[in-house]
């Protein structure tokens, strides 16, 4: 075959050289040595190409054999690790945890499978109480080591062995603590209907940048979940329908930018949710239809720059919503249509510069709303169509330099609204269309110097409006009672200083 190929190449070379010679003037005869050289050169090139193809094919075959050998070895390691996880001795199970984690690092194609096995182990029935049947000696150490292994693979999203973009399914698992601190969640993490029986599960300094963490229907019984200093930028944490019984969830100093924290229809029985010193740049925190039975939601020292916080349709039975020293620069906080039965909303020393806090349609039955010491330089606080039955609303020592406080069409029954010692240099407090039945509105000691207090079409059936020791320093600040109705209400002016020139 080589001879035939050489013969063909020789004649092709001869014809080519003959053709080239005929085009030259004067015509030159074809040199046989040139034909031979050309033939040898072409044969050499063909041989080199064939040799390269052969070597490449041989390499592919060798790599395929090596890959099959590696896959077989990895499969053997998987089988061994799985058997170790099922062993009766805790030390052997612990070895299986680390063996499976190392296997996941080496076996990229099946990394998710290895992660699924670790998660499946945590989903198995677990009895943390050593006095109860079903308790396994050393099992707590095995499970907590497994959580630490997962955490260590979630801390650096750029590491070659990072698990940050993979999915973790802990559905109906039982946790008596665990450390996920510093983790980066970019995939889907599910704690659906999981139980947190005691101890602390820590997500402190974690990052939820793209993925979702679901605690839907989870049950927290006396344990604590920390999200301290966590950052939420585009991800979602979902506690829909979760139950907190004597437990605590903390988002202290957390940062929210474009993410969603969903606690709608959650139940709090003596439990606390804390957002102390948190920053809400954007995104949503949703407590719609949540039930607080003695529970507390805490936003002390938090800053709102554009986010939406919703407690719409929530129920507070002796519960507390605490916004002490919070700063509102934008966004909105809504407690619209919520019901407070003996509950408390504390906004003491808060600063309202922009945005809206809304209690529209809410009902307060023996509850308390306290704005003592707060400052209003912008924004709006709305009590439109709100009902106060035996409740107390305090604006004591509040400074109104701008912004609007609306009690439009609100209803007061045997409650009190106090503006004692408040200063009005701007803004507006509007009671248009409000109804007072045996309630007290107290402006004693207030300073009215540019702000407006409006009682247009207000209905005073009984009760008292008190301006004793109030100082009206600007004629535009004289309270307006246009078309108001008085049916037994006592309005006390005392010795009210008149504005200059009046």
Summarised one tens digit per residue, pLDDT across range 104-129 is 999 888 899 999 999 999 999 988 87
Burial of 370 (0-12, 13-18, 19+ CB in 10 A): buried
Residue 5 reports pLDDT greater than 60: no
Cβ(403)–Cβ(378) below 8 Å:
yes
State the virtual CA torsion across 444, 446, 449, 451 in degrees, nearest 10: -90
The pLDDT, as a whole number, for residue 24 is 55
Cβ(195)–Cβ(171) below 8 Å:
no
Tell me the domain boundaries of the chain. Answer: 2-80, 171-492
The pLDDT, as a whole number, for residue 116 is 94
The pLDDT, as a whole number, for residue 134 is 74
- pLDDT category at 86 given cuts 50, 70, 90 is confident
Q: Three-state DSSP class for 151?
A: helix
- pLDDT category at 3 given cuts 50, 70, 90 is low
Residue 498 reports pLDDT greater than 60: no
Mean pLDDT, residues 185-198: 88
**β-pair partners for 424:** 400, 448
Q: Across all residues in the chain, what is the average pLDDT? A: 83
Give the residue, 127 or 98, on which the prediction is more confident: 98
* Separation CA 383–CA 238 (nearest Å): 29
pLDDT in tens, 269-320: 887 889 999 998 888 889 999 998 888 889 999 998 888 889 999 988 888 8
Q: Which residue has the tokens 């938090």?
A: 302
pLDDT in tens, 249-274: 899 999 988 888 899 999 988 878 89
- Cα 101 → chain centroid: 28
State the virtual CA torsion across 91, 94, 98, 103 in degrees, nearest 10: 100
Helical packing angle, 32-85 and 2-22, nearest 10°: 130
Pairing of strands 248-250, 272-274: parallel
φ, ψ dihedrals at 65, nearest 5°: -65, -40
Instruction: Indicate yes or no: pTM above 0.85.
Output: no
Cβ(170)–Cβ(196) below 8 Å:
no
pLDDT in tens, 203-217: 999 988 777 889 999
Exposure string (b/e) for 442-478, b if CB count within 10 Å is 16 or more? bbbbbbbebbbbbbebbbbbebbbbbebbbbbbeebe
Cβ(127)–Cβ(133) below 8 Å:
yes
For residue 417, what is the enclosing H or E element?
strand 416-418
């Amino acid at each position: 075959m080589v001879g035939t190929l050489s013969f063909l190449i020789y004649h092709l070379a001869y014809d080519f050289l003959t053709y080239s010679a005929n085009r030259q003037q004067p015509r030159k005869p074809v040199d046989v040595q040139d034909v031979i050289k050309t033939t040898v050169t072409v044969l050499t090139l063909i041989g080199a190409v064939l040799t390269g193809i052969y070597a490449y094919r041989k390499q592919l075959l060798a790599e395929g054999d090596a890959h099959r050998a590696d896959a077989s070895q990895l499969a053997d390691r998987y089988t061994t690790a799985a058997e170790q996880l099922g062993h009766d001795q805790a030390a052997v199970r612990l070895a299986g945890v680390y063996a499976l984690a190392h296997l996941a690092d080496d076996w990229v194609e099946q990394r998710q499978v290895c992660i699924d096995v670790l998660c499946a182990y945590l989903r198995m029935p677990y009895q943390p109480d050593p006095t109860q049947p079903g308790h396994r000696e050393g099992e707590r150490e095995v499970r907590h080591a497994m959580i630490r292994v997962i955490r260590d693979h979630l801390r650096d999203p750029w590491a070659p062995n990072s698990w940050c973009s993979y999915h973790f399914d802990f559905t109906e698992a039982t946790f008596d603590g665990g450390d996920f601190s510093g983790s980066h969640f970019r995939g889907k993490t599910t704690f659906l209907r999981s139980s947190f029986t005691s101890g602390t599960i820590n997500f402190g300094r974690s990052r939820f940048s793209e993925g979702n963490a679901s605690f839907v229907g989870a049950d927290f019984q006396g344990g604590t979940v920390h999200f301290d200093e966590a950052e939420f930028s585009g991800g979602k944490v979902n506690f829909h329908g979760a139950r907190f019984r004597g437990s605590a969830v903390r988002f202290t100093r957390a940062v929210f930018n474009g993410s969603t924290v969903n606690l709608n229809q959650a139940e709090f029985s003596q439990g606390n949710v804390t957002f102390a010193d948190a920053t809400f740049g954007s995104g949503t925190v949703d407590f719609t239809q949540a039930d607080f039975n003695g529970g507390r939601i805490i936003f002390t020292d938090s800053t709102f720059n554009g986010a939406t916080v919703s407690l719409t349709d929530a129920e507070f039975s002796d519960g507390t919503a605490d916004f002490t020293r919070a700063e509102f620069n934008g966004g909105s906080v809504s407690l619209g249509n919520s019901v407070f039965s003996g509950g408390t909303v504390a906004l003491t020393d808060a600063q309202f510069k922009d945005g809206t806090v809304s209690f529209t349609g809410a009902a307060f039955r023996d509850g308390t709303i306290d704005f003592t010491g707060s400052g209003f330089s912008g924004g709006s606080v709305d009590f439109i169509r709100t009902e106060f039955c035996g409740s107390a609303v305090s604006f004591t020592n509040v400074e109104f330099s701008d912004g609007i406080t609306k009690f439009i069409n609100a209803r007061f029954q045997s409650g009190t609204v106090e503006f004692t010692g408040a200063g009005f240099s701007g803004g507006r407090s509007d009671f248009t269309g409000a109804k007072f039945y045996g309630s007290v509105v107290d402006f004693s000691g207030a300073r009215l110097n540019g702000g407006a207090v409006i009682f247009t079409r207000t209905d005073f059936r009984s009760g008292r409006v008190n301006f004793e020791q109030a100082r009206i320093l600007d004629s535009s600040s004289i309270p307006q009672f246009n078309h108001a109705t008085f049916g037994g209400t006592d309005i006390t002016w005392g010795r009210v200083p008149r504005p200059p020139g009046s």
